[in-house]
Amino acid sequence: MTAEVAQPAAPEIAQPAAPEIAVTPKAVQKIRQTFAKMGVEGGLRLGVLGGGCSGLSYQFKFDTKPRPKDKVFDFDGVQVFVDPKSILYLHGMTLDYKESLMQSGFVFENPNAKKNCGCGTSFSS
């Protein structure tokens, strides 16, 4: 009769958590250029508002300072402010800046969006 010795379970390797939001280096550069061109001091406010073709639309504007309950993100010196309700819809989103022959502008890559409209500024979750 042989006794079996229980082997210790392999430790689970924790996966790094996905960032709440991300801003690509190209978008950071464009935001910084726009701030300088317009003489803006502060940060970029990202949010979600009711309305738009698909039910929700992105808010994208400059703000002088964060509000008391905002989450503040820093991307290479560029601050991004997001209110608590909007972070629920923007969690995991990446803000990018793309240029092509036909158009250029900021692009929201949002994994929470179930449907997007053709303009790219409205979505439903």
Question: Which of the residues in the chain have pLDDT under 70?
Answer: 1-19, 51-54, 114-125
**For residue 42, what is the domain's CATH number?**
2.60.300.12
Residue 86 in any domain: the answer is: yes
Q: What tens digit of pLDDT does each residue of 87-103 get?
A: 988 999 999 999 988 88
Q: Is 27 domain-assigned?
A: yes
* Total domains, the chain: 1
* Structural domain boundaries enclosing 33: 21-124
| Cα dist from 34 to 18, 24, 39, 86, 102, whole Å | 28, 15, 8, 23, 21
pLDDT at position 14, please?
Answer: 46
d(CA 24, CA 120): 17
pLDDT at residue 16, rounded to an integer = 46
Instruction: Give pLDDT, residue 123.
Output: 46
Query: Is position 16 within any domain?
Result: no
Judge whether 109 lies within some domain. yes
